Structure 1
Amino acid sequence: MTRTDRALSWAYLLASFLTLHCAVVSARHGAPWYTAGLTAATLLLIGATVREHQAADERRATVVKTERAARLRALDEQRAIRRTADTLGHSCCERWWTSCGTQHASTCNSQRRTV
C-alpha cells in the first residue's frame, strides 16, 4: 500500500467516524431521516476503506505475478542460450557444420571423424 493509499484510507476512516458522530447526535435530537442518511454515508465510507485495501492487495498480487513471470522467462531464455552454446560448442569444423554433421575438413582434429 502506498503512502497515498494509506492517507486516503485514514481520511475515509476519519470521515466515517465524523459522520457516525453526526448520526448519533441526529438520533439524540429526534431527526430519524438525518440519522439514516448519515449512517448510510458511514457504511459507504467504511466500504470505500475496505475496497482500498482490496485494491492494494490486488495490485501487490499483480506485481508479484509479473515479477515471477519475468524471472521464469529469463530462466527459459538462459536455458535456450546454454543449449545453443552447447550445440555450437560441439561443432568441430566449418565443413561439418555446413554438411549437417556428415563430413569433416581435412584439418579437423575431431574424434567424430567419419570415414
Structure 2
Amino acid sequence: MTRTAYALSYAYLLVSLLTLDCAVTSARNSAPLYAAGLATATLLFVVAAVREHMAADERRAEAVRVERAARLRAMADGREMRRAADTLAHACCERWWTSCGTQHASTCTHTTRKDISR
C-alpha cells in the first residue's frame, strides 16, 4: 500500500470516529434521526477504509501476476532462441535449406547416394 493510501485509510477511520461521537451525542440529546444518519456515515467511512485495503491487495496481486507472466514469456523466448541456435548449428548445406530438405549440394557430408541400379 502506498503512503497516500495509508493516509486516506487513517483519515477515513478518524472521520468515522468523529461521526460516531457525533451520533452518540445526538442520541443523548434526543435527536434519533441525526444519530441514525451519523451512524450510517460512520459505517460508510469504515467500509471505505476496508475497501482501500482490499484494493491495495488486488493491485499487489495483479502486479505479481504481470511480473510472473513476463518472466514466463522471457523464459519461453529464451527457449525459442536456443532452439533456433541449435537448428542453425546442425544446419546442412545451403541447397538443403533452400529446397526444404529435399536436395543436398554435391559437397555436403550428409548427402545420401541413391542406388540407381535397382
Q: Same fold, TM exceeding 0.5?
A: yes
Check if 1:42 corresponds to 2:42.
yes
Shift of 1:10: 0.5
TM-score (norm 2): 0.85
What is the rounded CA distance, in whole Å, between the counterparts of 2:103 and 2:89 in structure 1? 17
What is the aligned partner in structure 1 of residue 32 from structure 2? 32
TM-score (norm 1): 0.87
What is the rounded CA distance, in whole Å, between the counterparts of 2:79 and 2:111 in structure 1? 29
Q: Which runs of 5+ in 2 are unaligned?
A: 114-118
Q: Which runs of 5+ in 1 are unaligned?
A: none
SS of the residue corresponding to residue 51 of structure 1 reads helix
What is the aligned partner in structure 2 of residue 54 from structure 1? 54
Check if 1:12 corresponds to 2:12.
yes
Shift of 1:29: 1.5
What is the rounded CA distance, in whole Å, between the counterparts of 2:106 and 2:2 in structure 1? 68
How many pairs are equivalent? 113
TM-superposition CA deviations, 1:69-109 (whole Å, max 9, x none): 1111111111111111111111133223223334443444x
Aligned 8 A contact 2:105 2:111 in 1: no
Over the residues paired in the alignment, what is the CA RMSD in angstroms? 1.5
Shift of 1:43: 0.2
What is the rounded CA distance, in whole Å, between the counterparts of 2:90 and 2:100 in structure 1? 12
Among the aligned pairs, what percent are the same residue?
Answer: 69
Aligned 8 A contact 1:20 1:38 in 2: yes
